[in-house]
Amino acid sequence: MTATGAGNRLNIVQTELVIGVDVGGTTLKAAILDSEGREYRRSELPTPRHLGPEAVVAATIDVIVGLRAHMPPTARLRGVGVVVPGVVDAQQGIALYSANIGWRELPLRQIVEEAVGLPVVIDHDVRAAGLAELEWGAARGFQELLFVALGTGVAAAVITNGRVWVGATGRAGELGHLPVVPDGEWCACGQRGCTETYASAAALSRRYSAAAGVSVPAADVISRAEADDPLARRVLNDAIAALGRALVNYVLLMDPELILIGGGMAASGEALLDPLMREVQAGLAWRSAPKIANGQFAGDAGRKGAGLVAWRAVKETSL
C-alpha cells in the first residue's frame, strides 16, 4: 500500500488482484495473482471427481470463496479465471465436454458468477497454461511452439505467430487423442492407441500398477525405471515412444521452434526429456528436432494461466 497526502487527505493506491483456478482431473489448484503473475496466496485440494460433476463445481466455488477471504485488506479483486480440461466454449463460458470430470454442456461461467458475485472468465486449461509460459515463463520471445501438458491426460497448446491457436471448433491441441499405437489399448474417448493412453501420468500409474499388482504413482514409476526396474522401464519406454510419435507428427506439420513440457510429469526433468529428445530425433530422419525443454511453471502453469486469462478479460473490459 502506498499513501500520499496533504493535511487530512490521503490517496490510497490499491493493489489489484485476480483469482485463478485450475480444475484438474486430479488436483484443483488456485491462487491470488497480480498482473505480473506474482502469487499472493495459493490453494490446492484433491478434485472430488469421484463424487460426481456437481461436487467438482461446488469445490471450485469453495476454493474461490476461501481465497477471497484471505485477500490483502487494501486489495481490489477484479475477477476470476477458471480453466478446465476437455472441450471449452470460452466465449460462452461453457464446459462442453470433459472425459475426466464428467461435464457435458455445463454453463460453468454463469454458475460460478452467480455463486461468487464476481466477473468470471472460462478457458481451456492447457491453452491457458501455454499462454502463461508465453507471457511470463519459458516461452517468452518465441513465436512458434507447442506446449504439452502431461498430467491426468495429455493435451497441448498450439502457439503460432505468438498467439494461441484454437482451431475452427475450439478443439486444436488434442495431442492426447492422436492415435499413435495401431490397435492399441482403449482410451476413455472411445478410440484405440491414443497418446494419453500410454504417456499420461495416469497411464504410467495404471499400466505399471496393473502389471505389478500394487498401486504406484507415476513419479515412482519413473524413479523405478531410473533404478532399472524392468517393468517400470518398459512402461516408461512405451510412454516415451507414444509421445515421441505424436511430437514427430506435430513437428513435421507445424515446424515449431520449441516444444515445452509442462504438467505434473515435468518434475521428472532429464529422466523424461533426454529419452524423449532421442525418440523425436530418431523419428525425424531428414531434419533436426526442435528444442525440447521443461516449462518454467511445471504443475503451476494452469493456475498461472487462469490468472492471466482473467487479467486479459479485465483489460479488455477496461478499455
- Residue 8: the pLDDT is 42
pLDDT in tens, 211-240: 999 999 999 999 999 999 999 999 999 999
Query: Average pLDDT of 149-176?
Result: 91
Query: Average pLDDT of 145-162?
Result: 93
Residue with cell 507445424: 254
- Residue 20: the pLDDT is 98
Question: At 118, is the secondary structure helix, strand, or coil?
Answer: coil
Average pLDDT, the chain: 91
CA distance 83 to 290: 28
CA atoms within 13 A on the CB side of 70: 15
pLDDT in tens, 44-98: 999 999 999 999 999 999 999 999 999 988 899 999 999 998 889 999 999 998 8
- Residue 319: the pLDDT is 45
What is the full DSSP assignment across 138-161? TTTT-SSEEEEEESSSEEEEEEET
Residue with cell 477496461: 318
Query: Average pLDDT of 103-123?
Result: 96
- Residue 10: the pLDDT is 44
CA distance 274 to 114: 47
Whether 139-295 and 2-128 are alike in CATH topology: the answer is yes
Superfamily holding 2-128:
ATPase, nucleotide binding domain (3.30.420.40)
- How many separate helices (H) and strands (E) can be counted in the chain? 9, 15
Query: For the chain, percent helix, then strand, then coil, each to nearest 5?
Result: 40, 25, 30
Residue ranges per structural domain of the chain: 2-128, 139-295
- Residue 13: the pLDDT is 57
> What nine digits make up the cell of 244?
515421441
- Of 23-27, 195-199, 223-227, 305-309, the least confident: 23-27
Q: Which fold has domain 139-295?
A: Nucleotidyltransferase; domain 5 (3.30.420)
Query: Average pLDDT of 308-319?
Result: 87
Of 41, 108, 37, give the one whose Cα is nearest residue 68: 41
